Chains A and B, each alone.
Chain A
Amino acid sequence: MSARQNARSYEDTTHLLGKIWVWGMGLVLMMFPAAVCVYYDAWPDATALLKGLLAIAPMYWAVGIIEVLTYVPMLGAGGSYLGFITGSLTMLKVPCTLAALDRAKVKSGTPEGEAVATIAIAVSSMVTLAIIFVGVLLIVPLSPILESPRLAPAFEQLLPALFGGLGVALIGRNWKIAIVPIALMVGLFIAVPSLAPSAAIFVPVAAGVAILAARIMYQKGWL
């Protein structure tokens, strides 16, 4: 079997297994509320359920679709099928993948990049599960430390702390591509601060601008 056929068959199998895992896990995740209903004979009030879902589902389903469109090409097949189940994509899995690709010196979208992204997301998911598990076991002694007002300013600044370092690592090598979307997003959020908490929704907008600007620069021979 040629290397190309081998790659094709590996990718096809990844997509097939990914579908089984993701949809299967989707059903497994519904096991929790279903078990509550059956075990306690506590069926949800339809009006309250609808009211709760209407308050959050339109917004978060829209964000979810945007995340699929934006993050799947970055994370690759295996990484996406795992990352979209284990969650925390923006603040954890995507930056972790970027750091891992950078460390292994491989590119996203290549077979090597696909393997590295999946390893990074799997390790990150396992470490997260372990830390939360230990935290749940030790919740009584840990709570006063984690909720200490002295530490609160540190945890409030997780995203700036993350993107400052990541920015230096990645923007330096791609500053020509980065300059237009960064200028646009900084300008937008300064002009309309109320949009800042919804930054995730603007990822595809910034990506679209970055791609357009990069295309123009590429055609002009600047890249």
Chain B
Amino acid sequence: MPKPFTVNDPFLFVVVGIILLLVLSQAVFFLVRSWRRALALGMEKSTLWKVVKTSAAFTVVPAISILIGVVALSRKLGLPLPWLRLSVIGAITYETPAAEAAARAVGTTIGDTATMLTAPQYSVIAWVMTLGIMAGVVFTPILAKKLIGGVQGLEKRDQKWGDIFMNALFMGMIAAFLGMIFGRVTEGLAGWIPVFVMLASALIMALVGLCIKLFKWEWLRDYALSLSMLGSMALAIPITNLVMGVAK
């Protein structure tokens, strides 16, 4: 006889807990290995600690926004599935539309919290969310060595061009997302809100840089990006209220 199913069944929490412990062990494995490698290459421990502090501080705000995605999806899907999906592979930008598409395929929607999912419906949603984003898992091991080898070959042939090539790759990524920020400016003043927030973030970053130079606050470098992100997100609230008030 099938076991009774609810989206928050303790069994599901146990399975997610086991999987996430394995994910955590992968992170620890690569951390220890790369830490040892960095020391063997002659890097200072203090530099590595700066990397740890910068990375940890930078992660907090985006991780909280991921948590908001977990909360939003948990109304329909319960906690275990969104907890798992938003802790691995995916991103909010993927998991929400994936969950919606899967829910529609089984005749419901994520917004319909009045009706409970059955186990077969839940099973479809879990499979769709898992299989729909496996490209990175399949192709990274196949392509990584060739791609990294190609870049290293470039660096060996002409180191200056190799450096410029890598910088161009980074600038391309930044350009695509900076461009996206301007995507709504034709909608009127409200469409400029992301641009104003971006400018606020840039201004805070410049001010932090100025403080580091003027007052020799070197410690501030570890938190510069987090401060600009957090400060501009806080400013996004009055900016939005102001712009929406003017636009009315």
Secondary structure at the A interface, as helix, strand, loop or mixed, is helix
Secondary structure at the B interface, as helix, strand, loop or mixed, is helix
A51-B105, A159-B181, A210-B175 given as contacts; is B169 within 8 A of A81 (CB)? Answer: no
A161-B233, A165-B201, A190-B182 given as contacts; is B173 within 8 A of A40 (CB)? Answer: no
Within 8 A of B (CB), among A16-68: 17-19, 21-23, 25-26, 28-33, 35-37, 39-45, 48-49, 51-53, 55-57, 60-65, 67-68
B41 x A115 contact (CB < 8 A): yes
B171 located at the interface, meaning its Cβ lies under 8 Å from any Cβ of chain A in the complex: yes
Distance in Å: Cβ of B231 to nearest Cβ of chain A: 8
Contact string against B for A residues 71-97, beta-carbon threshold 8 Å, 1 for contact and 0 otherwise: 011101110111011111111101110
Distance in Å: Cβ of A142 to nearest Cβ of chain B: 7
A1 located at the interface, meaning its Cβ lies under 8 Å from any Cβ of chain B in the complex: no
B27 x A122 contact (CB < 8 A): yes
Distance in Å: Cβ of A26 to nearest Cβ of chain B: 4
B176 x A199 contact (CB < 8 A): yes
Contacting residue for A94 out of B128, B171, B173, CB 8 A: B173
- A33 to B134: give the CA distance in the assembly, Å: 14
Q: Tell me the nearest residue of chain B to A51, going by C-beta.
A: B105
B236 x A109 contact (CB < 8 A): no
Besides A15-B145, A132-B70, A203-B172, 8 other CB < 8 A contacts? A32-B15, A49-B124, A64-B134, A115-B43, A131-B63, A154-B234, A165-B205, A178-B171
A-B contacts, 14 listed (Cβ < 8 Å): A21-B30, A28-B19, A40-B2, A73-B169, A74-B166, A87-B87, A109-B152, A119-B31, A123-B55, A131-B64, A147-B71, A150-B237, A151-B237, A165-B202
